[in-house]
Amino acid sequence: MTRYDLAGRTVAITGSTGGLGTALAAAVRSRGANLALLDLDGDLTRAAEHFGHLDVAVADAEIDTIAPTATLDPAAFERVIDINLTGVWRAFRAALPHLLAHRGYLLAISSMAAFAHSPLQSPYAASKAGVWAMCDSIRLKVRHLGIGVGSAHPPSSAPR
């Protein structure tokens, strides 16, 4: 078995109903993986129970809001942070106990917005930069357990 062999592995994807999530799910399925398409992080436990194990958890849920900071509704800002950043943390936290046995992998779908910022997307850029930093921090903590952690940074033109 090679490092990237997904045959027989269980891959759970949260936020899998968008363009990128749908494409990722199709690619994973075509490589022979058991696939769990989820809306919420709590479903990760049910997926692990259904398939008997979990090898990879992908956190892909996201939203955006476009507005200048001066007129941005604070609730809209908080919602972007909650879904894009805190949602990844929740998914990772729920998945970690299930990944330990199989030395699995956590993947967060971030964005190039973590590095290249738009003047009207401050909450989105902040959330995606936070995802990148959080993944790096979690990676440092769990790598000795054999768990990999990564973040993907597609351009904003990628299908979402």
Q: Tokens 């090898």 map to which residue?
A: 55
Contacts of 71 (CB under 8 A, 6+ apart): none
Catalytic sites, residue numbers? 124
CA angle 5, 95, 124 (to 5 degrees): 95
DSSP string, 85-150: IIHHHHHHHHHHHHHTTTT-EEEEE--GGGTS--TT-HHHHHHHHHHHHHHHHHHHHHGGGT-EEE
Interaxial angle between packed helices 87-99 and 43-51, expressed in degrees from 0 to 180 and rounded to the nearest 10: 30
